[in-house]
A and B are shown apart, each in its own frame.
Chain A
Amino acid sequence: MSDDHEQQLVEQVRRAAEAGSPLAIRGGNSKAFYGRAVKGESLDLSGHGGVVSYEPTELVITARAGTPLAEIEALLAEKDQMLPFEPPHFGALAPSPSPQGGGEPRATSLPRGERVATFGGMLAAGLSGPRRPWGGAVRDAVLGVKLLNGRGEVLKFGGQVMKNVAGYDLSRLMAGSLGTLAVILEASVRVLPKPAVQITLVQEANEDQAAGRLVAWGRKPLPLSASLYHDGRLWVRLSGAEQGVAAARAVIGGEEADGDIWRQTRDQTLPFFQGDAPLWRVSLPTAAQALDLSGATLSEWGGALRWLRSDLSAGAIRRRAAALGGHAILFRGHDGVCEVFHPLPPAMLLLHKRLKAAFDPRGIFNPGRMYAEL
């Protein structure tokens, strides 16, 4: 079925390329809020699902773009494995059972109207969760992709092996490209064994104390796998072998806490993330000082990711982020028309435009989703 579906996608892209008419690529629609709004005919990947192969001892899973992320995570969990970058779902955690059924084993179609994170969307958005500084980002785990470029050609880059330097690394380039370069049809990512033991610790701290502790711990070989600071409390997760975690616990201190905090942070279901005030995602050096902008903050990634709810102007927030060595994304609470991502210097923007044209010469894929000029 999926080969037929692939052919339909190819034909839709070829038609759009001939007409020069834009396509809005969508999977499970769970991250439709992310980036700028796209006007175009819908190119629907939700029916293009199914795990192609999974070899636990090779540490690799290959799946089609429309496969629900939850299905992949469940499959990995059966073998005590996981996606190392802990991707957010931002939607229903599991799709309702597909009415079609039958067909290929494992092929799942997403019911319409429901917002369910997909494997392809995970890769296109390139967003990673709490484990990112220690387990790597989505792009770090990407091993290969099968994609559909703007000429309607199906191309494969990378593969299923860890080490591969044949040709430019165009598969990692897809991570975070928001569908503006090509349509991701299928991808292979690296997986990791689940840690034997995982504990969450919480302690009281003011912002400076928390930052100081995280920097000091970061310089030691401790089995850290997540951090969260919000409102006077610092949470830390330790993952690894039993005795290693126990020894690190003695160094970190604090009380044991509910580990569900990491899922709530990842999927933004914590109260901090509710409400209408604009939500900014500010990426900074780990040891950067406090943002010191009016509004509420929540910090992750040992200090390298700061969330800010603030009505301050985009200019003020971006200037502060840049001064600290980082950049700011207007994550939620915008009209889809304004600049969402940190503006690029002119020479960089020119290179981006040329790179997009190298994949999508007619500019049909998600025009404007990342930057108005792309």
Chain B
Amino acid sequence: MNAPAEVLLSPTQRSALLADLRNALPARCVLAEAEDLRPYECDGLSAYRRLPAVAVLPETIEQIRAVLRVCRTHNVPVVARGAGTGLSGGALPLSNGVLLGLAKFNRILEIDPDNRVARVQPGVRNLAISEAAAAHGLYYAPDPSSQIACSIGGNVAENSGGVHCLKYGLTVHNVQAIKLLTMDGELLEIGECEKPGGLDNPGYDLLAVLTGSEGLLGLVVEVTVRLLPKPERAQVLLAAYDSVERAGEAVAAIIGAGVIPAGLEMMDNPAIRAAEAFVHAGYPEDAAAILLCELDGTNEEVSEEIMRVRQLLLDSGATEVRTAADEAQRQRFWAGRKGAFPAVGRISPDYYCMDGTIPRRELGRVLGRIEELSVEHGLQVANVFHAGDGNLHPLILFDANRPGELERAEAFGTAILDLCVAVGGTVTGEHGVGIEKLAPMCGQFTAGELEQFHAVKAAFDPAGLLNPGKAVPTLHRCAEFGRMHVHHGEVKFPDLPRF
């Protein structure tokens, strides 16, 4: 397992910390009993669980600042948490630390339709922003599958994606300003926060560094996001293929023809069958792979492109191409894809979701190798794939109650991520490193690169108290993992002892 060893505060340390927190916050904002702490023991990666020393639920920025001050005084680490839907353990508490929940920061502060921005508190749910903007014909584009529950602050921390990234980008492309509390208690405005700002800011692009920094650099206490005009129309095509390679070639053909679909998703046969059994989306269950291709824009644009794409899909060897007849069918086509994870959850006691990204041209090779690995590890796998942007989610099926299966699933997962890196991709496309992917990070980056990350962290948080131990492994952790990849005949961490 990746989780570092537990470190506990001594009873004296803990009661001193509690006393100071209770001094700084109203009593209802401080949780210390085990039963009250239980809901915070894990995030969406429930294989890792741990109780924090204390949890706090502040209600104002001043209270957050006070919590940070107490933590600095006691030299106690802080883990921020939004809705707890993250999939990589980024919000896993530290047993010697404070869990800082931002759930009470749930207000939409302003929607400015003329400047097309929304100013919101970090605990606001992703979907709530689009719901509030709908009255103006606007919406917030990034739509992670957890969008009914996940918070915008968490989206910023993870640089969340969704099924429409290919055309509309990730969180980093859609955030305009952030109000940030540093661990030192300094309140910084990255971009204009009190009023709608411009499209760029003086100085370094700190928005880029903070987005996806997994709560290690600062605490996001307010976010200004960009809104887009809602497309007049969206239409989806479903194409079936008798091989995954052919489906992969179809994706290249669409993009090569100059079309950027709003969404372009692929599912392999095991994923199709699981989804079909779960939501009855009307998928062809004998297909080796299906593609879902969504086009959006003005009525005229969509009508024109849908004909082109339909022809491209047929020319690429699709055995069947269907156009959703109406909005209800479009929603059903998507329901199957969006329900793929829970669908797999129904057919297997446990599953382990991977999140590598690969250059799309490698799809056939990578899926072929995953199939071989599946046989080698004796575990089944279902693949769902954000085909447009190369983000692959193999779901490894296992049963944690069977001795050794979790370990085999983890070994299988690590092999998949190594494969993604080997073909020029990355170990995480959108779920983040968190606690989960520290080991594969050692394979993706050199010691110098990891040290550069740590230097950046120290520039924001010199004392190292914000979410320590996540996102970027220390060189010693890499040595412990035994992850010393020999690259061009060089050992990566020559100065470190081997275990």
- Chain A residues within CB distance 8 Å of chain B: 55-60, 80, 126, 132-133, 136-137, 139-140, 149, 153-157, 159-170, 172-173, 175-177, 181, 192-194, 196, 215, 218-223, 240-244, 246-248, 283-287, 301, 304-305, 325-327, 329, 341-344, 347-348, 351-352, 354-355, 357-359, 370-371
Contacts and interface: CB of A to CB of B under 8 A. Distances in A.
A219 B453 contact: no
Interface stretch (B252-260, B314-322, B374-382): B252-260
Contact of A159 (B198, B205, B255, B424): B424
9 contacts: A136-B169, A162-B357, A163-B430, A164-B426, A166-B428, A221-B298, A244-B300, A283-B199, A286-B114
A173 B390 contact: no
A163 B448 contact: no
A142 to B, nearest CB: 8
A327 B202 contact: yes
B199 to A, nearest CB: 5
Given A168-B209, A355-B456, A240 B202 contact: no
A358 B456 contact: yes
Given A80-B258, A223-B301, A240-B297, A166 B196 contact: no
Interface string B200-229: 111111101101110001000000000011
Contacts of A283: 198-201
Contacts of B259: 193
Contact of B297 (A157, A242, A244, A326): A244
B431 interface: yes
A177 B205 contact: yes
A36 B430 CA distance: 38
A268 B301 CA distance: 33
B165 interface: yes
B205 A139 contact: yes
A165 B159 contact: yes
Nearest to A304: B199
B406 interface: no
Contact of A163 (B232, B299, B390): B390
Interface residues of B, number: 98
B304 A244 contact: yes
Interface string B178-203: 00001000101000100111111111
Contacts of B212: 165, 168-169
Nearest to A164: B426
The 6 closest A-B pairs by CB, nearest first: A244-B301, A193-B258, A172-B208, A283-B198, A163-B429, A243-B300
B445 A167 contact: yes
Given A166-B444, A240-B297, A242-B304, 9 more contacts: A149-B452, A163-B430, A165-B433, A167-B471, A175-B208, A193-B260, A287-B114, A351-B460, A357-B459
Contacts of A162: 165-166, 357, 389-391
B209 A173 contact: yes
